[in-house]
Amino acid sequence: MGKKLGREFFVRPTLEVAKDLLAKILVRVYRGKKLAGKIVETEAYIGPRDKASHAYLGKRTPRNRAEFMVGGHIYIYLVYGMYWQLNISTEEEGKPTCVLIRALEPVEGITQPTDGPGKLCRALKLHRGFYGEDLCSSQRIWLEEGEKIKKSQIARASRIGIDYAGPYWSKIPWRFYLRGVSSAKIRH
């Protein structure tokens, strides 16, 4: 088992965390079995000034309160009434920033597709019950160190599915992915 990531990893600037999450291992224990996947695609959301963020202009709602938690907590929500989206809070408490986990490369125990945020939540059996879960102390989900990667292995592109945020925010290159990943269908 790799070294579990501690709070210090998550309380850094969101764009750094989004890049540094690449190649880390997301581990979920389900019915006594380990499900693990290497993170191969992420997206950053930087809170009040980011028109694509659920916390744009500092908006607080029951849905997004986990986004305001200290870095390392799960912010999970349902889209289209059927797909869960796994986000991880970043930075300090009260600052609504997070990183969406977009895709995984299966490492252990995963038999379903993980090449999209909804698919990876389905494959890892993630749901509302994980809302606000602390990745630093949880016994059922956490992140571990993965292989070391070079900066040249990280590609960046615009975020996906946020045209509503306008031309600037929808085109900003805050989606990060590992170059050459074949098992996940990364969108270029």
Decide if 101 contacts 26 (C-beta within 8 A).
Answer: yes
Residues 24-67 pLDDT 10s: 999 999 999 999 999 999 999 998 999 999 999 989 998 899 99
Q: What tens digit of pLDDT does each residue of 139-152 get?
A: 999 999 999 999 99
What does the CA dihedral 47, 50, 53, 55 come to, rounded to 10 degrees?
40
pLDDT, one tens digit per residue, over 90-140 is 999 999 999 999 999 999 999 999 999 999 999 999 999 999 999 999 999
Q: Is 40 helix (H, G, I), strand (E, B) or coil?
A: strand
Q: How many CB atoms lie within 10 A of CB 29?
A: 15
Of 76, 66, 60, the C-alpha closest to 130 is 76
Give the global pTM. 0.94
Please give the single-letter amino acid code of residue 177.
Y
3-class DSSP string for 113-128: CCCCHHHHHHHCCCCH
CB-based contacts of 78: which residues, under 8 Å, 6+ apart? 84, 85, 128
How far apart are alpha carbons 13 and 19 in whole angstroms? 10
| Domain spans, the chain | 7-178
- Which fold would CATH assign to domain 7-178? 3-methyladenine DNA Glycosylase; Chain A (3.10.300)
CA angle 95, 100, 106 (to 5 degrees): 145
Are the beta carbons of 23 and 146 closer than 8 angstroms? yes
User: Is the per-residue pLDDT at 187 higher than 80?
Assistant: no
Burial class (CB in 10 A: 0-12, 13-18, 19+), 165: middle
